[in-house]
Amino acid sequence: MPSNPGKSFYVTTPIFYVNDAPHIGHAYTEVAADVLARWHRQRGENSFLLTGTDEHGEKILRTAAANQSTPKVWADKLVEEAWLPLLETIDIDNQDFIRTTEPRHERNVQKFLQHLYDTGFIYRGSYEGNYCVGCEEYKTEADLIDGQGDFAGISVCAIHSKPVEKLQETNYFFKLSEFTQPLLDFYEANPKFIQPESARNEVVAFVRRGLEDLSISRSKEKFDWGIDIPWDESHITYVWFDALLNYITAIGYGEESAELQQKFADLWPASVQVVGKDILRFHAVIWPAMLMAAGLSPANQVFGHGWLLVGGEKMSKSKLTGIAPNQITDTFGSDAFRYYFMKAIAFGQDGSFSWEDLSARYQAELANGFGNLASRVIAMVHRYFDGVVPEEFGLEAVDLHVAEVAKAAAQNADAAIEAVAIQDALNSIWTLVDELNNYITVQEPWVLAKSPENKERLATVLNTTLEGLRVLAVLLNPFIPKATAKLWAALGDSVGELATQQIQNAGNWGQLTTGVTLGQLEALFPRIEAESETK
């Protein structure tokens, strides 16, 4: 269960390699985590979304040097020019942004390391293995495949399709092997810890084969862009060991102040950690073992989502299939971006992106299905009732049915989000969009408006549809916050601020105050000119 009864809802995204250019794969992880955070906030919970950047390691050192810069200055520039703007582009409401070069992170990574060293979980040893710089990870034989093209005849990393480097190192090791059984016991006792089910099975099978100790430092003779090992300054911390700790250093781990200690107690363990399936093992194996070694609880859940595929391949900058999020939002807007990726792909499975599918869904589902519904209803209230919310004069079975669909939509969507089934949540909400469109088609308010004796029935029909729009605004707010804010403004201030509307009450009928005057509603999802539809 991702929720933590009586506690805050804490959700994290992976921290992004600062060196990469943000693409829609990164944005996908962000949007999913943001939707979960906003939904729980809309339930009235103290919801906290953390994201940030992963700034140490050899890759960033090399690119900074190639750009005649120092790694910190280079990272500052990338955070300012690429990563913070990404959050604006896709409308992320994060409560914090952690950078692994910040003092609050560095000093507490050292504290954590020292603690594990003092308690015997870290020792000095030597290791030889195949290292992939792209993954920043040692690879086993099973992780390698036969190379193609330039690399034919040699083994390459299955993820990066590039050769691995044979490394022989003397450095510090974390006793990961000691956690094979404790992790298996933990998975068994917490069957929802790794989701989805297929990901869980894969991780459990991997751990059952037995874990090896993990090299967690690098000699400074090779490169020195990282956090010093506190008891041996000739070594720096392995970048993944450093990066994983962001989830606790950002919320006060290791800090002295009472306020931060309280914050840590409130937020940890995280409710759900959203990661791409390529980095699931780090989060579902190494990370919980690190926490167990330090006497801390693992997160409640790690959710491994699928990949965005472009032309059938994992979209990535290095394979030149990367699409920048603003290529989409410049034309379609951030709401459409958020909606599209959450609705078109089952969260947890791979999904293909195509401009055609995006355009088609924008037009059919957002512009026609939802946007037109809202503007037609509000326009009719202006036309037939001078913009004043009409009262209802006795609900008939068809009207009560709309109320029932609304209630079920709210309950089912809430249950789906609890299960991190984000697409199912939108499908549940869309049952109400479809119901309202059908209801209007059958009730024909424009026909009722022609005869004065039908005035009361017309009032009831428009009151019912306005109630339906109110429910939609609340349920869709975590997904398409810009459009719902506009709709809410048009619904008038008859039920208070949108932010205070709780999901749990959204399906209760009859909350709009009659007699209140509605605002005007601009087109929520305007028509997009044909030439920009197909890029």
Give the span between the Cα atoms of 450 and 447, in whole angstroms: 5
Q: Which stretch binds ligand MSP (CB under 6 A): 18-26, 77-85, 331-339, 441-449?
A: 18-26
Instruction: Determine, following the binding rule CB under 6 A, whether residue 54 of this chain makes contact with ligand MSP.
Output: yes
Instruction: Determine, following the binding rule CB under 6 A, whether residue 308 of this chain makes contact with ligand MSP.
Output: yes
Give the span between the Cα atoms of 308 and 281, in whole angstroms: 19
To the query of whether residue 132 is one of the catalytic residues in this protein, the response is yes
Q: Which stretch binds ligand MSP (CB under 6 A): 78-86, 270-278, 408-416, 507-515?
A: 270-278
Cβ proximity to ligand MSP, 41 vs 281, nearer residue? 281
Residue 39 and residue 30 in contact, taking contact as beta carbons nearer than 8 Å: no
Give the residue from 358, 364, 310, 357 showing the smallest Cα distance to 330: 358
- By CB under 6 A, name the one of 26, 38, 41, 338 that touches ligand MSP: 26
For residue 135, say whether it is annotated as part of any ligand binding site: yes
In 10 A of CB 288, how many CB atoms?
25
Q: Is the peptide bond before 196 cis (omega within 30 degrees of 0)?
A: yes
Instruction: Determine, following the binding rule CB under 6 A, whether residue 194 of this chain makes contact with ligand MSP.
Output: no
Residue 19 and residue 78 in contact, taking contact as beta carbons nearer than 8 Å: yes
Cβ proximity to ligand MSP, 72 vs 376, nearer residue? 72
Beta bridge partners of 314: 309
Main-chain dihedrals φ then ψ at residue 518, nearest 5 degrees? -80, 155
For residue 283, say whether it is annotated as part of any ligand binding site: no
Mention every residue, 6+ apart, whose C-beta is less than 8 A from residue 362. 332, 336, 340, 525, 528
Which H or E run includes 156? strand 155-157
> Which candidate in 314, 401, 407, 482 is catalytic?
314
> Which candidate in 40, 56, 139, 157 is catalytic?
157
To the query of whether residue 401 is one of the catalytic residues in this protein, the response is no
We find the least distance from the C-beta atom of residue 26 to ligand MSP, in angstroms, to be 5
Instruction: Determine, following the binding rule CB under 6 A, whether residue 307 of this chain makes contact with ligand MSP.
Output: yes
To the query of whether residue 115 is one of the catalytic residues in this protein, the response is no
Instruction: Determine, following the binding rule CB under 6 A, whether residue 25 of this chain makes contact with ligand MSP.
Output: yes
**In terms of DSSP H, where are the helices of 306-371?**
325-332, 334-344, 355-361
> Which candidate in 26, 40, 139, 343 is catalytic?
26
We find the least distance from the C-beta atom of residue 31 to ligand MSP, in angstroms, to be 11
Q: Kindly state the tokens that stand for 345.
A: 């792909």
Rule CB under 6 A: which of 228-247 touch ligand MSP? 243-244, 246
To the query of whether residue 482 is one of the catalytic residues in this protein, the response is no
Question: 């990164």: which residue's tokens?
Answer: 26
Give the residue from 100, 101, 99, 82 showing the smallest Cα distance to 27: 82
What letter would DSSP give residue 79? I
To the query of whether residue 135 is one of the catalytic residues in this protein, the response is yes
Give the span between the Cα atoms of 334 and 88, in whole angstroms: 9
> For the chain, how many residues are written?
535
We find the least distance from the C-beta atom of residue 317 to ligand MSP, in angstroms, to be 8
We find the least distance from the C-beta atom of residue 75 to ligand MSP, in angstroms, to be 13
- By CB under 6 A, name the one of 279, 345, 466, 498 that touches ligand MSP: 279
Q: How many residues bind ligand MSP (CB under 6 A)?
A: 22
Main-chain dihedrals φ then ψ at residue 122, nearest 5 degrees? -125, 135
Instruction: Determine, following the binding rule CB under 6 A, whether residue 20 of this chain makes contact with ligand MSP.
Output: yes
To the query of whether residue 343 is one of the catalytic residues in this protein, the response is no
Cβ proximity to ligand MSP, 276 vs 333, nearer residue? 276
User: Is residue 197 classed as helix, strand or coil in its secondary structure?
Assistant: helix
Q: Which residues are catalytic?
A: 23, 26, 132, 135, 157, 160, 314, 317
Annotated binding site for Zn(2+): which residue ranges? 132, 135, 157, 160
Q: Which residues bind ligand MSP (CB under 6 A)?
A: 14-17, 20, 25-26, 28-29, 54, 243-244, 246, 275-276, 278-279, 307-308, 314-316
Annotated binding site: which residue ranges? 132, 135, 157, 160
